[in-house]
Structure 1
Amino acid sequence: MENHKIKLSEQITFHFISIDSYPPKLKNYIEENIHKIWNGDNEVIESSNDIRITKTEIKNLLENKTDLQKNGIVSEFFCHLYLRAKNFNQHFLFSNLEEKGMKKGFDGLYGINNEFYIYESKSSLETTHDATHNSNISEAYNDLKKKIEGLNTTNNPWKNAYNHATLRSVNFNDTISKTLKKLSKEYVDKKFEKIDKYNIIPSSTIFLGARYNVIDKKDLIIKMDNLTKNYSCKHLDVLCLNKNTIQNFIDYLDE
């Protein structure tokens, strides 16, 4: 696993991650976090069997999905894993998001330094040979913009985020909770705000299979800089992940 955090400015940070195989250090970190990502930070681990149950639940979820959905779930999991390593606090349950119980809002909501960040994920199949991080990040940003600014009002994303943030097994933050509740009420009244008031995390995962290669950091910095320099937001953290295949993760779940 290789990762780089590049602070382009006070407003913009790039995160580039490449995962080919699962060395012991990465497996240990997954083992330490998988239960909390799935069930919440406050969900007590009573024994190692709890982790086994979590792995089985995720495996069962993947078995019932299309290839595109499987890719999306695995890519989101690894982005959540990475963000936790960078001290972002998770204010949602990955299990509820993926079981569609509160979908479709945002793909995640994080807190750090008394600020909350909205996360949106896009991924590409191994068979999509022309997939690029630029296109995925652009799609993720535009989806966030539509949800925040009321251009896609199929669901109230703030209500979904509020429901997650107030769950017992999620670390509670009173300020974030009150803000989400306020935004949810305003959304119902069609009082939408602009994306430039928000901290956002668009992510892109490309599965490469036999074509796997690590991210060319210099090349991608130039491309991401050109893409995001006109993005409106308060703070922007861009995640780009190159991954070999989802099979590594499925093999890990079987261990």
Structure 2
Amino acid sequence: MFGRYKIELSDKITLHFISINTYSKRLKDYMETNIHQIWNGDNEIIESAEDINITKTELKNLIENKTPEQKIGIVSEFICHLYLRANKYEQHFLFRNLEEKGMKKGFDGLYILDNELYIYESKSSLETTKTSTHNGNIGESYHDLRKKIEGINTTNDPWRNAYNHASHRSINFNENISKTLKKLSKEYVQKKFSKIENYNLIPSSTLYLGTRYSSIDKIDLKNKMERLINDYEFNKINVLCINKKSAQHFIDYLNE
């Protein structure tokens, strides 16, 4: 479904390589059963098939008003959320409004797996940017996470954003996570910042390749990722790298 290749380098480090040329029927069927919950939260009741169509329309309206860079970012994040859900990561945020630049902007996602908190950050590159690499995008994702966690960029409090999402009625409520996020938000305001080495991270990279599309060279990218993250600090890290042909496939799906 995802053309996935998973490599567990250790009990702390896992690499996920995903290659998507076209959308198979199986992938589109899985999207159909998850799109409403990704957008609205797992507790948002589907009363009829029209609810799913409304969600698709909301996503279409969001994408239509964005720049090319923002459009591919939205599609990339959706595919990553879809993939993580398929791998039993519990989504503790709403996809709606996370793309907006403003007071609500924080982490790109917050997940729980085996009662552990994971923080997700996404970077993607247009197919016209031929010099882009997974190394570059993963590096940018990681350093953005470090800036937010360690208070290097304090424009917005990412923990307050995460707390607001995790406490939303449409999200499966987890009291321990909610308390932790509220505490971290208070400390952030007091400039008592955390260290990235204490957190579980999910940095992701999506390369849109167009006519240059090819599946990920697993051995080559594995070697590059091992070298890249060798100096990174984290509790656990799941690295997501995606080769994708086009964002248009997602837009076509929304229009079906």
Look up the SS of the partner of 2:97 in the other structure: helix
Q: Does 1:129 align with 2:123?
A: no
Give the letter for the 1:66 counterpart.
T
Query: What TM-score, normalized by structure 1, do the two folds share?
Result: 0.98
Look up the SS of the partner of 1:95 in the other structure: coil
Partner of 1:5: 6
Partner of 1:157: 158
Partner of 1:109: 110
Question: Displacement of 1:193 after TM fit?
Answer: 1.4
Look up the SS of the partner of 2:78 in the other structure: helix
Look up the SS of the partner of 2:120 in the other structure: strand
Q: 1:101, 1:82 → 2: CA distance?
A: 27
Q: Which sections of structure 1, spanning at least 5 residues, go unmatched? A: none
Question: Displacement of 1:102 after TM fit?
Answer: 5.3
Give the letter for the 2:146 counterpart.
K
Q: 1:102, 1:54 → 2: CA distance?
A: 24
Partner of 1:195: 196
Question: Displacement of 1:96 after TM fit?
Answer: 2.6
Question: Displacement of 1:100 after TM fit?
Answer: 4.9
Question: Displacement of 1:184 after TM fit?
Answer: 0.2
Look up the SS of the partner of 2:98 in the other structure: helix
Q: 2:227, 2:99 → 1: CA distance?
A: 33
**Which structure 1 residue ranges, 4+ long, deviate > 6 Å from structure 2?**
none
Report 1:69-148 matches (<5 A): 69-100=70-101, 103-148=104-149
Q: 2:101, 2:173 → 1: CA distance?
A: 22
Q: 2:95, 2:65 → 1: CA distance?
A: 17
Q: Measured at CA, do residues 43 and 93 of structure 1 come closer, stay the same or move farther in structure 2, by a change above 3 Å?
A: same
Q: Does 1:227 align with 2:192?
A: no
Question: Displacement of 1:98 after TM fit?
Answer: 2.6
Query: What TM-score, normalized by structure 2, do the two folds share?
Result: 0.98
Once the two structures are aligned, what percentage of the paired residues are identical?
68
Question: Displacement of 1:208 after TM fit?
Answer: 0.3
Give the letter for the 2:22 counterpart.
S
Give the letter for the 2:226 counterpart.
D
Q: 1:21, 1:209 → 2: CA distance?
A: 11
Q: Does 1:253 align with 2:250?
A: no
**How many pairs were matched up?**
255
Q: 2:208 touches 2:245 (CA, 8 Å); kept in 1?
A: yes
Give the letter for the 1:18 counterpart.
S
Give the letter for the 1:176 counterpart.
I
Question: Displacement of 1:104 after TM fit?
Answer: 1.6
Look up the SS of the partner of 2:201 in the other structure: strand
Q: 1:205 touches 1:241 (CA, 8 Å); kept in 2?
A: yes
- Write out per-residue CA displacement over residues 7-43 of structure 1, whole angstroms, 9 at most, x where no aligned residue: 1011100001011111110010000100000000000
Q: 2:103 touches 2:156 (CA, 8 Å); kept in 1?
A: no
Q: Which sections of structure 2, spanning at least 5 residues, go unmatched? A: none
Report 1:27-106 matches (<5 A): 27-100=28-101, 103-106=104-107
- Write out per-residue CA displacement over residues 190-242 of structure 1, whole angstroms, 9 at most, x where no aligned residue: 00111000001000000000100000111100000000011100000000001
How big is the alpha-carbon RMSD for the aligned residues of Structure 1 and Structure 2?
A: 0.9
